[in-house]
């Protein structure tokens, strides 16, 4: 069983967290580089799980279309939001308070070297969290993330986008628990025009505490990835 060091970073600026992820990824990649060159017993690489909420920000993945941001610079500034083009997969999404963002910095050599399986595992974590609240989460073909599908339509509750370098991951998932859904009206979420966005509060008709969501995600990550979580000091 792999040990993973976790930390809740609080409400933080996106760029600050992006840089932190990069530094952790680079430190793991450097250990792997030294292991390849050394004749000694390989040093085991570390794995990290970062949790946070972000100040208002829109991010565009490397395969995204900037036209899916419906605000001009003036409107963006008035909304108190920032905009970044970043190095993950996927299109455009929004991050803000009331959304739990999870960044696994995993060396997949410690788990399995299969990005598609990794994404399905991330989805499974969210599906298990939703199950705790009596909600059935779904996958849609060709649309990474977790959806709620019923006679009312298809609604995205969790967006995902990742990057991997030498099998070390960064970026991750964004789960809407009590986020301001009006903020998504400024974008075409994930570049998908015929589907909507939802939150856990919206689906349940009541508020769920952050502490409960945080605990649920830790439990479900531990179950799906078969990991032991330890606080990152």
Which domain range does residue 190 map to? 2-231
Q: Token pair 């628990």 is at which residue?
A: 177
β 168-176/196-197 pair status: unpaired
* Per-residue pLDDT band at 189 (split at 50, 70, 90): low
Within 10 angstroms of residue 71's Cβ, the number of other Cβ atoms is 16
Q: Where do the H-state alpha helices sit in the chain? A: 14-37, 73-78, 115-131, 200-204, 210-225
Which CATH number belongs to the domain containing residue 159 in this structure?
3.30.930.10
- pLDDT band for 65, please (50, 70, 90 cuts): confident
- pLDDT at site 192: 62
Output the pLDDT for position 64: 81
| Mean of pLDDT values over 107-111 | 97
State the sign of the Cα–Cα–Cα–Cα dihedral 147, 131, 103, 120.
Answer: negative
Tokens standing for residue 133: 């609240």
pLDDT-derived band at 187 (thresholds 50, 70, 90) equals confident
**pLDDT at residue 90 tops 90:** no
Beta-carbon count within 10 A of 83 CB: 17
pLDDT at 199 over 80: yes
> How many domains are there within the chain?
1
CB within 8 Å of 48: residues ≥ 6 apart? 4, 5, 6, 7, 24, 103, 104, 105, 106, 232
Q: What is the pLDDT of residues 1-11, one digit of tens each?
A: 999 999 999 99
Which of 45-54, 63-72, 152-161, 217-226 shows the lowest mean pLDDT across its residues?
A: 63-72
Q: Report the percent of the chain where pLDDT is more than 90.
A: 74
Confidence bin at 228 (pLDDT 50/70/90): very high
Is the whole model's pTM more than 0.85, yes or no? Answer: yes
- What is the bridge-based pairing of β-strands 82-85 and 168-176? unpaired
Average pLDDT value for the chain: 93
Q: What's the rounded Cα separation, in Å, for the pair 225 and 60?
A: 28
Show which residues are catalytic.
190
Q: How far is CA 33 from the centre of its chain?
A: 27
Would you state the pLDDT for residue 193? 65
Asked if pLDDT for residue 191 goes beyond 70, the answer is no
Mean of pLDDT values over 64-77: 83
Average of per-residue pLDDT across 58-82: 85
The C-alpha atoms of residue 154 and residue 165 are separated, in whole angstroms, by 33
Decide if pLDDT at 188 tops 90.
no
| Mean pLDDT value across residues 51-60 | 94
Of the candidates 123, 162, 157, the one whose C-alpha atom is nearest the C-alpha of residue 141 is: 123
């Amino acid at each position: 069983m792999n040990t993973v060091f976790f930390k809740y970073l609080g409400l933080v600026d996106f760029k600050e967290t992006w840089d932190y992820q990069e530094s952790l990824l680079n430190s793991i990649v450097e250990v792997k580089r030294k292991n390849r060159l050394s004749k000694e017993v390989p040093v085991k690489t570390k794995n990290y799980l970062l949790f946070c909420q972000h100040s208002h920000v829109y991010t565009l993945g490397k395969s995204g279309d900037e036209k899916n941001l419906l605000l001009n610079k003036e409107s963006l500034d008035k909304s108190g939001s920032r905009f970044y083009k970043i190095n993950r997969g996927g299109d455009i999404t929004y991050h803000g308070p009331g959304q739990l963002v999870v960044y696994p910095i995993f060396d997949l050599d410690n788990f399995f070297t299969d990005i598609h399986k990794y994404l399905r595992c991330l989805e499974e974590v969210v599906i298990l969290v939703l199950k705790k609240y009596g909600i059935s989460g779904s996958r849609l073909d060709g649309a990474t993330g977790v959806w709620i599908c019923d006679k009312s339509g298809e609604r995205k509750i969790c967006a995902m986008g990742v990057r991997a370098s030498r099998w070390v991951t960064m970026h991750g998932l964004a789960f809407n628990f009590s986020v301001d859904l009006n903020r998504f009206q400024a974008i075409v979420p994930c570049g998908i025009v015929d589907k909507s966005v939802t939150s856990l509060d919206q689906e349940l008709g009541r508020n769920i505490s952050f502490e409960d969501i945080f605990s649920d995600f830790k439990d479900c990550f531990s179950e799906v990835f078969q990991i032991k979580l330890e606080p990152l000091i």
